[in-house]
Amino acid sequence: MKKLTFLAIAMIALAIAPLSLGAANPNKILIAYFSWGGNTETVANYIANQTQGELFRIEPVVPYPSEYTPCTEVALEERDTNARPAIKDKVANWDDYDVIFIGCPVWWHEAPMIIHTFAESYDFAGKTVVPFCTYAATYRDETLAKIVEITPDAKHLEGFGARGSSTSGVTEWLNRIGMIPGNSGINDVAVDNNANITVYNTTGDVVYDGIKSEVSVPQKGIYIVRSENKTEKVVL
């Protein structure tokens, strides 16, 4: 097996993938959501609990009607007039966030117009946007696509649609996109600071052997991390 030093590994490729051991999720996450009937709020709270993100409720200055039919009439008028309903509060410390989840119910086949207001109120350059929505029957994909469309300066990860207030599948989705601390494929091996670790690639070559809390590997892929009596797989 070929043993490579940390410095040599760092020089192998242009794209270096950091393998952090025992660290928390490095991303600061905001879950911004609009909820009328409570379904989206339920899913947003679940996402916040899973990701350790912070919640921001998007609330209109003028509340929507509490009854279903009058609310749908207001929502349709807003859509047809391309309205931008005013939002009550602003996100504090916007620049501190790396990942922005944006969630809403499906209203008239797409995201409510207040989501347009939110998207136009902030600079998304350098941010990663993760769309999610709640729906009764259809137009999930159209709503997720609309959130992507109105945040063109951001990077985007796979979105998620929840039927009603169901959180079924949310944890699996968050794992898949690497948003759960400890299960992201980057930060899921905890070792003692002074423990010796050995990192292998899938062909059995040693890509690192020593004492470090962060190791650079030549490319994304599957690695085996061995520390004393612990052996774990890491997917980057």
Q: Regarding predicted confidence, which is higher, 24 or 30?
A: 30
pLDDT at 216: 61
Total Cβ atoms within 10 A of residue 92: 8
pLDDT at 214 over 80: no
pLDDT at 6 over 50: no
Q: What is the DSSP string of 195-209?
A: --EEEE-TTS-EEEE
pLDDT at 187: 38
pLDDT at 23: 44
pLDDT at 205: 73
pLDDT at 221: 60
Q: Would you put residue 38 in left (φ > 0), alpha (ψ -120 to 50) or beta?
A: left
pLDDT at 16 over 60: no
pLDDT at 199: 82
Q: What is the mean pLDDT of residues 9-25?
A: 40
Write out pLDDT tens, residues 94-153.
Answer: 999 999 999 999 999 999 999 999 999 999 999 999 999 999 988 999 999 999 999 999
Which among 85, 51, 66, 35 has a CA at the least distance from the CA of 181?
51
List the single range of 1-5, 125-129, 172-176 with lowest mean pLDDT. Answer: 1-5
Q: For the chain, where do the domains classified as CATH 2.60.40 start and end?
A: 6-24+185-235
pLDDT at 207 over 80: no
Q: Please give the class, per CATH, of domain 29-176.
A: alpha beta
Q: Which two tokens stand for residue 71?
A: 């609310």
Q: What is the mean pLDDT of residues 145-167?
A: 96
pLDDT at 14 over 50: no
Residue 112 · residue 75 · CB < 8 Å = yes
Burial 33-55 (b: 16+ CB within 10 A, else e): bbbbeebbbbbbebbbebbebbb
Write out pLDDT tens, residues 184-203.
Answer: 443 334 445 567 788 877 66
pLDDT at 1: 38
Q: Regarding predicted confidence, which is higher, 208 or 69?
A: 69
Q: Please give the class, per CATH, of domain 6-24+185-235.
A: mainly beta
Which among 6, 17, 62, 53 has a CA at the least distance from the CA of 207?
6
Q: Which two tokens stand for residue 11?
A: 């020089």
Question: Whole-number mean pLDDT of the chain?
Answer: 82
Q: Regarding predicted confidence, which is higher, 135 or 15?
A: 135
Q: Regarding predicted confidence, which is higher, 189 or 86?
A: 86
Residue 217 · residue 15 · CB < 8 Å = no
| Alpha carbon separation from 9 to 17, 103, 167 (Å, rounded) | 11, 40, 41
pLDDT band at 227 (very low <50, low <70, confident <90, very high): confident
